[in-house]
C-alpha cells in the first residue's frame, strides 16, 4: 500500500508542485490544507503517514499546527517546509518534533530522498 501524505501550504502553486513531485515518487496524497487550522482538522480526519508542513501560514503558523499534531499523535511524521532565512523557525520546529526539513525552492530529488528517509524511520 502506498504511503499516504498530507500537503500543507497556503500557496496553491507550492501544493501543486509538491503533489506532482510526490505522486511521481509513488506517494498517495490523501489531503491538502491551506492554513494551520485546516491542517489540524484534516490531520484528525485522515491520519496520513507523512505530513509536509509549511511554516508561514495564516490561522496558526506551521509551528503552532505542528505542536497540536504532535500532541494528537506523538508518532506523527512531519516534514517542515521552510525558506532560506528561517533558521530560528527551524530550531523551534525541531524542538516541537519535526522529523526533517525541506528547503524552498524545492529540489525534487532532495524532497524525494528526505521523505523516503522519514517514511522509513
Partner 1 sequence: MDMSQYKSLFLSESREYLKTIADQVVALEQAPAERSAVDALFRGAHSLKGMAASMEYGDVVVVAHSMEDLMARVRDGALCFEAGVADLLLEGVDLIDVMLADVEADRECTPPPGDFAERLRGYTPAPPKKQAPAGEPPAEHPAPQAQPGGEPEKAKEPAGEASGTVRVKTELLDHLINLTGELVTNKHRLLNVAQEVASPALNDAVSETGKLLRALHDEVMKVRLMPFEAICDRFQRSVRSLAKKSGKEINFELSGREIGMDRGMLEQLVDPLNHILRNAVDHGMEESAERAAQGKPPRGTVKLSVSRDRDRISIQVSDDGRGMEPQKMIEAAVAKGVITPEEGALLSPRQALMLSCIPGFSTAKVVTDISGRGVGMDAVNAAIQKLGGTLVIESEPGQGSTFTLRLPMTIAIIHALVVQCGNVKGAVPVTGVLRTVELARHQIETMGKRQMFQLDGEAIPLLSLNRVLGLPLGRFPNGILPLFVTEAKGRRVGIVVDRFLGQHELFVKPFGRPLCKMAGLAGGATLGDGEIVTILDLAGLL
Contact assessment for residue 104 and residue 76, using Cβ atoms and an 8 Å cutoff: no
Pattern of binders to partner 1 over 50-69, x per CB under 8 A? Answer: ------xxxx----------
Task: Compute the least distance from the CB of residue 10 to partner 1, in Å.
Answer: 6
Pattern of binders to partner 1 over 88-117, x per CB under 8 A? Answer: ----------------xxx-x---------
User: Which runs of consecutive H residues, i.e. helices, occur in 25-107?
Assistant: 36-46, 62-72, 87-96
Helices 108-120 and 12-24 sit at what angle, rounded to 10 degrees? 70
Residue 8 is a binding residue for partner 1 (CB under 8 A): no
Which of 5, 14 has the CB closer to partner 1? 14
Residue 74 is a binding residue for partner 1 (CB under 8 A): no
Which of 35, 49 has the CB closer to partner 1? 35
Residue 47 is a binding residue for partner 1 (CB under 8 A): no
Residue 79 is a binding residue for partner 1 (CB under 8 A): no
Contact assessment for residue 54 and residue 31, using Cβ atoms and an 8 Å cutoff: no
User: What whole-number distance in Å separates Cα of residue 54 and Cα of residue 65?
Assistant: 10
User: What whole-number distance in Å separates Cα of residue 93 and Cα of residue 105?
Assistant: 19
Cβ-proximal residues to 120 (8 Å cutoff; 6+ apart), any chain: none
Binding footprint of partner 1 on the chain (CB under 8 A): 10-14, 16-17, 21, 34-35, 56-59, 83, 104-106, 108
Amino acid at each position: 500500500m502506498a504511503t499516504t501524505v498530507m500537503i500543507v501550504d497556503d500557496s496553491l502553486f507550492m501544493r501543486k508542485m509538491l503533489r506532482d513531485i510526490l505522486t511521481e515518487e509513488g506517494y498517495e496524497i490523501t489531503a491538502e490544507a491551506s492554513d494551520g487550522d485546516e491542517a489540524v482538522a484534516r490531520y484528525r480526519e485522515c491520519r496520513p503517514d507523512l505530513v509536509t508542513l509549511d511554516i508561514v501560514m495564516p490561522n496558526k503558523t506551521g509551528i503552532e499546527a505542528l505542536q497540536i499534531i504532535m500532541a494528537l499523535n506523538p508518532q506523527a511524521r512531519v516534514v517542515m517546509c521552510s525558506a532560506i532565512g528561517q533558521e530560528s523557525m527551524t530550531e523551534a520546529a525541531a524542538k516541537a518534533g519535526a522529523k526533517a526539513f525541506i528547503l524552498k525552492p524545492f529540489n525534487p530529488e532532495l524532497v524525494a530522498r528526505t521523505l523516503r528517509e522519514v517514511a522509513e524511520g
